[in-house]
Structure 1
Amino acid sequence: MNKTDRLLAIVLELQGKEIVRAQDLANQFETSVRTIYRDIQALSEAGVPIVGSTGIGYSLMEGYFLPPISFTVEEAVTLLIGTDFIEERFDDHYRIRAQDAHRKIEAILPESVRNETTRVRKAMRLLASDKRVTVSKEREYLEKIRRAILDKRKINFHYVKRFADAEKNRHSVRTVAPYGLVLIQGSWMLVAHCDLRQDIRHFHLSRMTELTVLESQFELPVHFSLREYTPPDDRSLQVRLLFNYDIADKVKESNNAYVEEMEEHQDGLLVVLRVHQLEEVLQWVLGWGAEVIVLEPESFRNRIREEAEKTLKRY
């Protein structure tokens, strides 16, 4: 990063935070504290009202804003694709804001940059989900949960944990303190503290019904950070599968979340899964038909055989 870019980046950091330490700026821009001191001096001489406090850090004088910023083609494409993504995957509130932001970004672009940006974006496409009912339902709940998180209010909903055998589906009513939302492989998941389990649990929005926001409030634990949160991995069951080479690429592209290892052998593609329950991957394995062999555990081999026999009887 050259000096001009670094000076602009420093102002943006100061504009986005109340106080910034010189050491933090030095770490971020991979330079020395002495260089940051010189940069701050240069900005002050250029008329940027920076206030410095020894031992505390730097801040911008209240009311100071940067003039409009110009974007490169790559930056404009990045921002516009970001608005496309939000419009596709977020709730109505943010979808409308994304549309407004899209129009504003395009409006401030010079004609040459706007034309090039349009040309680049025509070569890219975000495909909409084909699960229209589920997406619509997720969006409705997404907005309610998002507001509950901001207002620090608990929510209540009916939840179903589905299995291949519908008779084994587990239904429950949960009251939780919503901590955050995570988008995983195109589906939204809620990270929350469950009153029933007295611990943090994860809930798919697509499996919720009758969701309501309660009057009771909660406090987010001071030690909890959604960005740093890593769920405990208590998957104890290992499944070993051998796929025919002919579909190896398709298996790799399937992006199954339970895959722990893939290795090519002369007999085919060896895939190792680690799961909580075998039911979690039953339908995925059955979907590959005769192209896959279950090596272990034996109980899972028997279950696949039973399902295949049930299917045969239907025909």
Structure 2
Amino acid sequence: MTRSERLLQLLDILRRHRHPVTGVAMAQELGISLRTLYRDIASLQGQGAPIEGEAGLGYVLREGFLLPPLTFPVEELEALVMGARWLATKGDEDMARAAESALARLRAVVPPALRTEMDLTTLVVGGPRPAPDQVRSDALRQAIRQQQKLRITYRTGEGALSERVIWPVALAFFDQSRVLLGWCELRGDFRSFRTDRIMAATATGATYRPPRKKLFDDWRRAHGLMAADRN
């Protein structure tokens, strides 16, 4: 992560919190030392960011810093809020954090009247959370983006374990499960794997061809709808 990216992430963290957040908490989330965190805050303040607070007490970002006006019809705003809340509830840990960050950023750039609509919306997400994953989803998403072949240990619904080498293509989010779609070298065909049943996943260091988009288009033409856990 570059320093400029880190400074933007620091601003995002401050935007997510309406009350002062401690330097220790921010440093832990960014994976940096407290000394570096204080240096970054001083740098942002020097550039005009209205960050208030001090070491030991916490920091807060006043609203309105370099934020262009952004408006939506109420229905569109509710759709965005609902989608982000769904991911915050049904998504994996990283996607949930990203959804909450996006909501905080959206709230910061809409006019006060729409901000009130966001705060008062009565749209809620119900139902149980999906089962927790054994493998971090950011590793799966990285393998998808980089077209990296994965060696996985998979547990079927009957409890049997199998080793597979797959070409990960996409992640699908359902109400009570998440599914990794990929080409399975063992089966010589597309297969879908519930992420809570992937016991281990290791990048093989090899990339696959053809390009991921073509592979995904091939799956869509072949299947139309994903049938989870056909293993």
Q: TM-score, normalised by structure 2?
A: 0.58
Residues 94-109 of structure 1 aligned to structure 2 (within 5 Å): 94-109=95-110
Whichever residue aligns with residue 161 of structure 1, its letter is T
C-alpha distance in structure 2 between counterparts of 1:219 and 1:129, whole Å: 38
Match of 1:160 in 2: 155
Match of 1:84 in 2: 85
SS in 2 for 1:225: helix
CA offsets, 1:212-249, max 9 Å, x none?
2221111245643359715559xxxxxxxxxxxxxxxx
SS in 2 for 1:88: helix
C-alpha distance in structure 2 between counterparts of 1:180 and 1:126, whole Å: 24
Residues 38-187 of structure 1 aligned to structure 2 (within 5 Å): 68-119=69-120, 121=121, 123-127=122-126, 129-130=128-129, 134-135=131-132, 137=133, 140-163=135-158, 169-187=159-177
Post-superposition offset of 1:154: 0.9
Residues 1-315 of structure 1 aligned to structure 2 (within 5 Å): 68-119=69-120, 121=121, 123-127=122-126, 129-130=128-129, 134-135=131-132, 137=133, 140-163=135-158, 169-221=159-211, 223-225=214-216, 229=220, 232=223
Whichever residue aligns with residue 180 of structure 1, its letter is A
Whichever residue aligns with residue 190 of structure 2, its letter is I
The 1:126/1:177 distance shift into structure 2, 3 A limit, reads: same
SS in 2 for 1:154: strand
Whichever residue aligns with residue 198 of structure 1, its letter is G
SS in 1 for 2:71: coil
Whichever residue aligns with residue 86 of structure 2, its letter is F
Asked if the contact 2:147/2:207 (under 8 Å) is kept, the reply is: yes
The 1:220/1:191 distance shift into structure 2, 3 A limit, reads: farther
The 1:202/1:127 distance shift into structure 2, 3 A limit, reads: same
SS in 2 for 1:197: coil
Match of 1:21 in 2: none
The 1:228/1:192 distance shift into structure 2, 3 A limit, reads: closer
Post-superposition offset of 1:81: 1.8
The 1:94/1:214 distance shift into structure 2, 3 A limit, reads: same
Whichever residue aligns with residue 170 of structure 1, its letter is A
* More relative contact order, 1 or 2 (CA 8 Å, 6+ apart): 2
Whichever residue aligns with residue 225 of structure 1, its letter is F
Asked if the contact 1:141/1:205 (under 8 Å) is kept, the reply is: no
- Which ranges of structure 2 fall in alignment gaps of 5 or more residues? 1-67
Whichever residue aligns with residue 117 of structure 2, its letter is E
- Which ranges of structure 1 fall in alignment gaps of 5 or more residues? 1-66, 164-168, 234-256, 259-275, 277-315
C-alpha distance in structure 2 between counterparts of 1:179 and 1:130, whole Å: 24
C-alpha distance in structure 2 between counterparts of 1:156 and 1:201, whole Å: 14
Asked if the contact 1:93/1:143 (under 8 Å) is kept, the reply is: yes
Q: Which of 1 and 2 has greater Rg?
A: 1
Post-superposition offset of 1:118: 2.5
Asked if the contact 2:129/2:176 (under 8 Å) is kept, the reply is: no
- What's the % identity of the aligned pairs? 23
Asked if the contact 1:156/1:211 (under 8 Å) is kept, the reply is: yes
Q: TM-score, normalised by structure 1?
A: 0.44
Post-superposition offset of 1:176: 0.6
When the two structures are aligned, how many residues end up with a matched partner? Answer: 159
SS in 2 for 1:146: helix
Post-superposition offset of 1:106: 1.2
The 1:112/1:227 distance shift into structure 2, 3 A limit, reads: farther
